[in-house]
Amino acid sequence: MSKKKRILYTIPNFDTAGSGKVVYDLVKGLDKSKFEVEVACSSNRGAFFKEIEKLDVPIHIIQTTVSYRPYRSLFSRIKPIIRFLKTNDYDIVHSWHWSSDWTEVVATRLAGIKWVYTKKAMSWGNKHWKIRSFLAHFIITINDEMQSYFSYKNNQQLIPLGIDTDYYSPDLFPEKGGEDKVFHIITVANLVPVKGLEVLIKAINTLKDETIQLTVLGDYESEYGAYLQSLCKTFGIDKQVIFIGKKPDVRPYLAAADLYVIPTLDKGRKEGMPMALIEAMSMGIPVLGSNISGIKFVLKDFKKLLFEAENESVLAQSIYDIKKLKNSDRTLTGKKLRMFVVNNFNNKIFIEKHQKLYCNLIEKKTT
- Distance CA(337)–CA(270), nearest Å, equals 22
Q: Which CATH superfamily is domain 5-162+346-363 in?
A: Glycogen Phosphorylase B; (3.40.50.2000)
Helix residue ranges, H only, the chain? 17-29, 48-53, 74-88, 103-110, 127-135, 197-207, 223-235, 251-255, 275-282, 295-298, 312-323, 327-344, 347-363
Q: What is the pLDDT of residues 75-115, one digit of tens each?
A: 999 999 999 999 999 999 999 998 899 999 999 999 999 99
- Report the share of the chain in percent with pLDDT over 70: 96
Work out the pLDDT band at 178, boundaries 50, 70, 90: low
pLDDT computed for residue 14 by the predictor: 86
Q: What is the pLDDT of residues 217-261, one digit of tens each?
A: 999 999 999 999 999 999 999 999 999 998 989 999 999 999 999
Same fold, 5-162+346-363 and 170-344: yes
The alpha carbon of 50 is separated from its chain's Cα centroid by a whole number of angstroms, namely 19
| pTM, rounded to two decimals | 0.90
The alpha carbon of 85 is separated from its chain's Cα centroid by a whole number of angstroms, namely 27
Distance linking the first and last C-alpha atoms of the chain: 28
* Domain residue ranges of the chain, discontinuous segments joined by +: 5-162+346-363, 170-344
From the candidate CATH numbers 2.30.110.10, 3.30.1390.10, 3.40.50.2000, 3.30.300.10, the one assigned to the domain spanning 170-344? 3.40.50.2000
pLDDT computed for residue 176 by the predictor: 67
Q: In what order do the strands lie in the sheet with 212-217?
A: 241-245, 212-217, 183-188, 259-262, 287-290, 306-307
Residue 221 exposed, middle or buried by CB count within 10 Å (0-12, 13-18, 19+)? exposed
Q: CB count, 10 Å around CB of 175?
A: 8
Q: Does 190 have pLDDT greater than 50?
A: yes
Instruction: Assign 3-state DSSP to the chain and report helix, strand, coil percentages, each to 5.
Output: 45, 15, 40
Among 27-36, 39-48, 211-220, 327-336, which is the least confidently predicted range?
A: 39-48
